[in-house]
Structure 1
Amino acid sequence: MFGTKPEAQRFLDEMTTSMETGTYVDPGRSKTTVGAIAETWIETPSWAASTRSRNRSILDAHVLPRWGSTRLADVHHEDIQEWVNGLGKAGMAGGTVRKVHGVLNGVLKAAIKGKRLAVNPAAEVDLPRQDLKRRRYLSGVEVEALVHAAGDRGAILLVLTFCGLRFGELAALKVGMVDQVRRRLRIEESVTEVNGALVWSEPKDHQRRTVPWPKFLDAEISAAMEGKAPGDLLFPSPGGGALRVRNMRRDWFDAAAKEAGVQGLTPHELRHTAASLAVSAGASVLALQRMLGHDKPSTTLDVYSDLFDEDLDLVADRLAEGRSRSTAEYLRSVEEKKEGQDATLTP
């Protein structure tokens, strides 16, 4: 097996080190295929149903056809890089390539946790840039036009736009979650359509929260609650069940957006608009984080950093004002010093 005694000793030393550091992998365990690990990984219990559905789709369409039957021991960094390069050359968008690679990367991370791989060959793969689409914010006038075009469904759009809820959170609102005295909505659930079925869950990132609504929504909220029990949905679909975003867009939302001159608008962009309107009204990062249900303020800044550009302008303006004051004080001190010298020289 070894040509020389030093080679055998080197192998023994490496084995000893890997066992001591916990990185040792039994070669027999690396014979498992990527596909076998993927089927365990896809059942990660902490995922939302929508996340599992999305990852399942990527596995079946892109990862398993190339890697499913490959043994873990035969997955090499350069092969993954070649595969990623090929996805881009085939016309796949940069953001999609990153998502596809992320799924394979997740599977291989699971193999490392299971002591089937010592290192992740998908790590440090060069990925294409993701073309970021400019976020769309409606102006106040555009919001009014959209609400008018929606007719008696305008209350739904007002809540999305001025409370910043995710669509699934609005669809899951029940009458018992409304506090009319304090003007608060308790966000405790979310409902999402996954593969044709409605899946109920906690809000994203488990961020249960209370969200205020502006006074002008009092009448709309009261009308939505009228004649309903605490367990009834606040904004049900025409059939009485939970709203489904695809059905809503098909039945009236897209038509209202077109009529209002904001064709192509998505319901989620009303959440972005809520953030924009809140910042314009003077909301801090912390207040916006609590309103939107982000896990931490840094997430809010990462997502909506462009909304705080005016803060940078304000900083620059204040720096300019400060320098103006300093310059004026300096010139005044110079003048006073000169006047003092002149007085001393005067006989």
Structure 2
Amino acid sequence: MSIQKRPDRKWRARVRDASGKEIARHFDRKSDAERWEASAKAAITRGDWIDPARARVTVGAWASEWMAAQVQLKPSTRARYELALRRQILPTWEGIPLSAVSYAEVAAWVQRLTASGLAPATVRYAHRVLSLALAHAVRDGRMSRNPAEGVRLPRVVREEPVFLDHDQVARLAEACGRYGLLVRFLAYTGLRWGEASALRVSRLDLLRRRVTVAVAFAEVGGELVEGTPKNHQRRSVPIPRFLVDELAAHVAGKRRDSLVFTAPNGGPLRNTNFRSRVFAPAAASVGLAGLTPHDLRHTAASLAVAAGANVKAVQRMLGHASASMTLDVYAGLFGDDLDAVANRLDEAVAARDADYLRTGTAGGEVLDLGKRRSPGR
């Protein structure tokens, strides 16, 4: 029998999981043992039985094991995950067993983080890291479901991108002195800072007016680490003709493996140093205080759309994973496209109406298919 009374007067219930392993629980009352047995057998039949022993591991121990398994992460992403774990996740969850993590507790944790004054984006990122770790536990058979799924998160209010026009780009470039070419390059190619700072001469094809984006720098723990671009996507970006001669002069005499843009000492450019020492003072001097180097990427998108680029072209240029991502950020830039569609629809209907007035039919003479002759007759 699967339920037996022990000498200590407790009732022992036993079941075997899908692997044949026996699981036993002890109860004071026979009815409790029977209920547990029925529930356990039903869960085993459904395939969502969780061995209590496997769910006793703490979130802290499991997070360490999960992070060790994430071999696909870029160094910069790994560093951000570890920061979220250290600052927002483990202070609450480190000693809590996986079996004790509930939807309500995760929701309460998110509420506490939000109430503490953390930015919505930071709260959402911490929740995402915890959810990824718990999803890994589900796949490993330690939890039947992910209790972080479906938790309501604070809304992130996206700031409106800053777009410069051609004159503003020119004035900013002039104010940046020896780095004017870098400013124009960023504003007309849309490369991310890490992509531009890691760009080597061999990646410039000035005859075809193309730059190949294959690597990027990321700052991790104060050190620059070279890795793949965001989304791990290699791409080819067009270079406007007016930049070609200036770039050719700039890289003349450099080795193919040399960096195109460097710090004054010849080493790699760091965003924080460049922004504080060169970019921010230059931007303020031309009435653009608060501008960041990343705003030049937004500018590149704006200038490309104004020159007639469609959403797919902008997506490829910027290296976005999908066109929907491009539209999420730059939907407002394509308003003229919608106007053009409406105008073409107006023209089509006007042409149809004019044709109807001229012929008395919509679209010209109506062909009577019933009178159409078969071939060969």
TM-score using structure 2 length: 0.82
Match of 1:32? Answer: 57
Cα distance in 1 for residues equivalent to 2:85 and 2:200? 36
Cα distance in 1 for residues equivalent to 2:166 and 2:177? 17
SS at match of 1:27: coil
Give the deviation of 1:113 after TM superposition.
2.0
Call closer, same or farther: CA 1:9–1:67 in 2, change over 3 Å.
closer
The letter for the 2-side match of 1:64 is: L
Cα distance in 2 for residues equivalent to 1:5 and 1:196? 58
Higher RCO, 1 or 2 (CA under 8 Å, sep at least 6)?
A: 1
The letter for the 2-side match of 1:33 is: T
- Kept in 2: contact 1:192–1:244 (CA 8 A): no
- Kept in 1: contact 2:214–2:234 (CA 8 A): yes
Post-superposition Cα deviations, 1:66-91, rounded to whole Å, max 9, x if no partner, equal 11111111111111111212222232
Post-superposition Cα deviations, 1:106-126, rounded to whole Å, max 9, x if no partner, equal 121121122211111111111
Identity of aligned residues (%): 42
Give the deviation of 1:199 after TM superposition.
0.5
Give the deviation of 1:243 after TM superposition.
0.9
The letter for the 2-side match of 1:275 is: A
Give aligned pairs, total. 332
The answer as to 2:42 corresponding to 1:17 is no
Cα distance in 2 for residues equivalent to 1:5 and 1:52? 46
- How big is the alpha-carbon RMSD for the aligned residues of Structure 1 and Structure 2? 2.1
Match of 1:60? Answer: 86
Cα distance in 2 for residues equivalent to 1:29 and 1:207? 38
SS at match of 2:53: helix
Structure (1 or 2) with the larger CA radius of gyration: 2
The letter for the 2-side match of 1:131 is: V
Match of 1:244? Answer: 270
- Kept in 1: contact 2:189–2:317 (CA 8 A): yes
Give the deviation of 1:98 after TM superposition.
1.4
Give the deviation of 1:152 after TM superposition.
1.8
Give the deviation of 1:333 after TM superposition.
7.1
SS at match of 1:135: coil
Match of 1:266? Answer: 292
Give the deviation of 1:42 after TM superposition.
3.0
Match of 2:206? Answer: 180
Give the deviation of 1:40 after TM superposition.
2.5
Ranges in structure 2 where 5+ consecutive residues have no aligned partner:
1-26, 361-377
The answer as to 2:346 corresponding to 1:320 is yes
Call closer, same or farther: CA 1:11–1:157 in 2, change over 3 Å.
same
Cα distance in 1 for residues equivalent to 2:265 and 2:185? 21
The answer as to 2:28 corresponding to 1:3 is no
Match of 1:80? Answer: 106
Cα distance in 2 for residues equivalent to 1:131 and 1:10? 49
Cα distance in 1 for residues equivalent to 2:229 and 2:37? 56
Equivalent residues in 2 for 1:68-107, closer than 5 Å: 68-107=94-133
The letter for the 2-side match of 1:261 is: G
Equivalent residues in 2 for 1:110-121, closer than 5 Å: 110-121=136-147
Cα distance in 1 for residues equivalent to 2:220 and 2:241? 35
Match of 2:226? Answer: 200
Give the structure with the higher percent helix: 1
Post-superposition Cα deviations, 1:279-326, rounded to whole Å, max 9, x if no partner, equal 111112222222212233333233322221221121222223334444
